[in-house]
Amino acid sequence: MTPVSPPPRRLLPACWLSAAVLALAGCGAVLPGAPGSAEQTTIGAPVGAELAALVPAPDAFPAGYPAVVLPAEAAAQAAADLDGVGPGATVEPARCAPPPELAGPAVAVGTDEESRSSLTVELSRTDQPLARLRTRLAECANVRVLRAGAAATVVTDLLDEAPDAAPAPDDALALLRTVSPDRGGAALTQTMRTVIGQVGDVRITVTGMVFGGSEPEPGPVDELFATAVERVRAG
């Protein structure tokens, strides 16, 4: 989830994920698919290391995705865009708005220049177990997002299985998300395949994103997720 390069107008407000990312980069029940992890209803022991020290380095990205670690301001923008919402947006229904971050995330992003697809890993701190996110996603499968005079429909489908990772996270889930702007047609539609895991108070989010209605390949997403979980576990 191999698309064609989006037209230049993909950088307009309706296309929210994200000019900053592509410019900097190119430029309990046992959870299926995650042996040893269980649905997380409490937070584990905090991870002591700084997030910036735990985010996978560019040379740890899958082949074909030359990557950079984003500076703090761009990291915050990219993390917000991965929800399909973006900073300053209004979500309908309001209860489906993502909760605020506890602190600035650490983000690295790689871009396949040929397909113009991106691969992003985000590490953030949270005071909530992953079970709460799973519930919110299930209840907010279809939302409207309004931002800077533009509108989009965000559809999120929870997938049956999260990928294997060794060592395993405390909990993990996988989803497929489309962001369809009201204007611009299929060429501006973003499709994201995301795997989210948690180790203690660190939430690990890995997202593959393409434009144009196809789906990102799961392999690079799963590979980077396993790398990120291992790095956080080693803390």
**What pLDDT, in 10s, does the model give residues 114-160?**
888 999 999 999 999 999 999 999 999 999 999 888 999 999 999 99
User: Is the predicted pLDDT of residue 33 greater than 70, yes or no?
Assistant: no
What gap in Å lies between CA 8 and CA 5, rounded to an integer? 9
> Residue type at 157?
D
Asked whether residue 138 is assigned to any structural domain, the reply reads yes
Q: Choose the weakest-confidence range: 26-30, 146-150, 186-190.
A: 26-30
**Does any domain span residue 2?**
no
Q: Would 119 be classed as within a structural domain? A: yes
Let me know if residue 219 belongs to a domain. Answer: yes
Q: Which domain holds residue 118?
A: 8-234
Total of domains in the chain: 1
Q: How far is CA 80 from CA 87, 104, 149, 179, 199, in A?
A: 6, 11, 18, 13, 21
Q: Residue 1: inside a domain, yes or no?
A: no
More reliable by pLDDT, 197 or 7: 197
- Residue 3 domain-assigned? no
pLDDT the model gives residue 134: 95
Diameter of the chain measured on Cα atoms: 48
Q: Which tops the pLDDT comparison, 235 or 208?
A: 208
- CATH code of the domain in which 113 resides: 3.40.1000
